[in-house]
């Protein structure tokens, strides 16, 4: 009775809180949704016949200083929002994002987590990874659309329907391109046509880019230039492995007075990335050998973690990608009994520690807290998979990961 009462109460309270957040963002739309401001402005400039990739074409009173960094074809999408005034466009975009967020959480629950998605899952979604959900909402980025398309693609992958999987991955990659990485999931499948699908998908995406270059060469080169210009963001908004080692090197240099050579930094980053890829590959091989009933789901989660750990520009709101893999491993640890501790650890997002020395250390820790959680989740997956593989080799062993 307590559980039946407690669950609906949590959901109602969270929906009310979400409504409050949306109303707050709506009332301060001119201060938030900065990515949308840029993108809509680019669509407006494109509609007027000018080059939106040229910073000189931005009007003096433009609300943001960021550059447009998506391929030219995406300008048609944002041009639609320039057909009305900014206030109306911002509210339409915000409403669409709210619908997508609610729909995505519902989809996560029913297509992936199923009985694992209890009431605490909704609290987890709100707070995990430095409240990535809230960061995504106020940033006004296209990330939530990308996430919806990716998870729809993943649902096809676990059903072993690889053609629609590839199609939706390519749709998801149409803005930021990097989600094409997930096509490698095809290579983990047992489908006899997997190599044809992989090459065909890569060819289709290259054609998507080539057509834009042929039709709008100036715009396309501007897109490449702007995309390369945004790599200098700080670790607070880009808590990636690349940024972490850069900031760590800087902090060590300030403490010791000895600057680490850039070549050595790149060597350490390359070595770390190679290690992550190798261990993830070994885990994927073990999954295939162990013949786990829900192998496809675990492959999806493993590749999501790999993507987050090696992405050179893993933005704070992009950690939405790891919400489901993180909650799944909390609910399904078989050899590491850490579920309550992990739940609390993952939702921590406070950086108000003012002790000398520790304040600077904790500032670095909290800036990269989502990345550290990602490493934690990845490590647990590796431990679980390798232990499962070891257990499965014993006589009379049974699969401990239940069928989803």
From first to last of its 404 residues, the chain has per-residue pLDDT tens of 545 666 777 778 878 877 888 888 888 888 889 899 889 999 999 999 899 998 777 665 554 457 889 999 999 999 999 999 999 999 999 999 999 999 999 999 999 999 888 888 988 988 888 888 888 988 999 999 999 999 999 999 999 999 999 999 999 999 999 999 999 999 999 999 999 999 999 999 999 999 999 999 999 999 998 888 877 677 778 899 999 998 888 888 888 888 888 888 899 999 999 999 999 999 999 998 887 888 999 999 999 999 999 999 999 999 999 999 999 998 887 766 777 777 777 777 554 434 334 455 567 777 888 898 899 889 989 988 888 887 776 666 554 444 44
Is residue 23 classed exposed, middle or buried when 0-12, 13-18 and 19+ CB atoms within 10 A define those classes?
A: exposed
Q: How far apart are CA 268 and CA 249, in angstroms?
A: 11
Q: What pLDDT, on a 0 to 100 scale, did the predictor assign at position 84?
A: 92
Task: Using CA atoms of 40, 45, 47, 48 in order, give the dihedral in degrees to the nearest 10.
Answer: 150
Q: How far apart are CA 315 and CA 367, in angstroms?
A: 11
218 within domain boundaries:
no
Token digits of residue 280: 């993830």
Q: Which long-range contacts (CB under 8 A, 24 or more apart) does 331-336 make?
A: 331/113, 331/116, 332/116, 332/384, 332/401, 333/380, 333/384, 334/384, 334/387, 334/388, 334/400, 334/401, 335/383, 335/384, 335/387, 335/388, 336/380, 336/383, 336/384
210 within domain boundaries:
no
Q: What pLDDT, on a 0 to 100 scale, did the predictor assign at position 177?
A: 95
Q: What pLDDT, on a 0 to 100 scale, did the predictor assign at position 126?
A: 84
Q: How far apart are CA 18 and CA 255, in angstroms?
A: 43
Helical packing angle, 323-331 and 339-347, nearest 10°? 160
Q: What pLDDT, on a 0 to 100 scale, did the predictor assign at position 384?
A: 85
Q: How far apart are CA 31 and CA 73, in angstroms?
A: 28
Residue pointed to by tokens 């650890």: 345
300 within domain boundaries:
yes
Q: Can you say whether the dihedral through the CA atoms of 49, 53, 59, 61 is positive or negative?
A: positive
261 within domain boundaries:
yes
Residue pointed to by tokens 């949704």: 33
Q: What pLDDT, on a 0 to 100 scale, did the predictor assign at position 241?
A: 93
DSSP state of 84: S
74 within domain boundaries:
no
Q: What pLDDT, on a 0 to 100 scale, did the predictor assign at position 76?
A: 95
Neighbours of 97 (CB within 10 A): 22
159 within domain boundaries:
yes
Domain that holds residue 302: 2-31+84-191+230-392
Burial 173-185 (b: 16+ CB within 10 A, else e): bbbbebbbebbeb
Q: What pLDDT, on a 0 to 100 scale, did the predictor assign at position 397?
A: 55
Q: How many residues does the chain have?
A: 404
Q: What pLDDT, on a 0 to 100 scale, did the predictor assign at position 99?
A: 93
185 within domain boundaries:
yes
Q: Mapping DSSP to helix (H, G, I), strand (E, B) and coil, where does residue 232 land?
A: coil
DSSP state of 134: H
Runs of H (alpha helix) within 230-294: 241-256, 262-290
44 within domain boundaries:
no
Count the domains in the chain. 1
Q: What pLDDT, on a 0 to 100 scale, did the predictor assign at position 355?
A: 36
């Amino acid at each position: 009775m307590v559980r039946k009462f407690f669950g609906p109460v949590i959901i109602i309270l969270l929906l009310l809180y979400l409504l409050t957040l949306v109303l707050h963002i709506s009332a301060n739309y001119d201060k938030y949704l900065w990515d949308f401001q840029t993108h809509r402005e680019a669509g407006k400039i494109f509609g007027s016949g000018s080059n939106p990739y040229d910073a000189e074409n931005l009007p003096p009173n433009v609300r943001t200083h960021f550059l447009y960094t998506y391929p030219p074809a995406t300008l048609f999408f944002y041009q639609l929002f320039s057909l009305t005034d900014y206030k109306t466009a911002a509210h339409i975009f915000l409403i669409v994002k709210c619908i997508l967020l609610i729909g995505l959480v519902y989809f996560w629950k029913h297509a992936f987590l199923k009985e694992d998605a209890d009431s605490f899952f909704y609290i987890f979604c709100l707070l995990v990874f430095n409240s990535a959900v809230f960061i995504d909402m106020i940033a006004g980025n296209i990330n939530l659309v990308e996430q919806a398309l990716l998870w729809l693609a993943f649902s096809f992958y676990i059903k072993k329907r690889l053609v629609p999987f590839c199609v939706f991955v390519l749709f998801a990659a149409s803005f930021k391109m990097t989600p094409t990485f997930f096509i490698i999931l095809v290579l983990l499948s047992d489908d006899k046509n997997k190599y044809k699908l992989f090459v065909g998908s890569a060819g289709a995406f290259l054609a998507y880019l080539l057509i834009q270059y042929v039709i709008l060469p100036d715009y396309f080169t501007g897109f490449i230039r702007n995309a390369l210009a945004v790599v200098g963001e700080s670790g607070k908004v880009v808590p990636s492995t690349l940024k972490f080692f850069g900031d760590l090197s800087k902090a060590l240099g300030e403490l010791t007075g000895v600057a680490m050579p850039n070549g050595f930094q790149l060597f350490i980053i390359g070595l770390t990335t190679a290690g992550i890829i190798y261990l993830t590959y070994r885990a994927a091989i073990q999954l295939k050998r162990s013949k786990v009933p829900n192998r496809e789901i675990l492959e999806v989660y493993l590749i999501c973690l790999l993507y987050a750990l090696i992405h050179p520009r893993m933005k704070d709101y992009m950690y939405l990608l790891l919400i489901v893999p993180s909650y799944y491993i909390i609910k399904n640890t078989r050899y590491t009994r850490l579920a309550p501790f992990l739940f609390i650890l993952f939702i921590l997002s406070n950086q108000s520690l003012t002790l000398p020395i520790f304040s600077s250390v904790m500032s670095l820790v909290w800036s990269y807290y989502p990345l550290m959680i990602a490493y934690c989740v990845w490590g647990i997956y590796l431990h679980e998979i390798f232990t499962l593989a070891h257990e499965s080799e014993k006589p009379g062993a049974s699969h401990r990961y239940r069928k989803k």
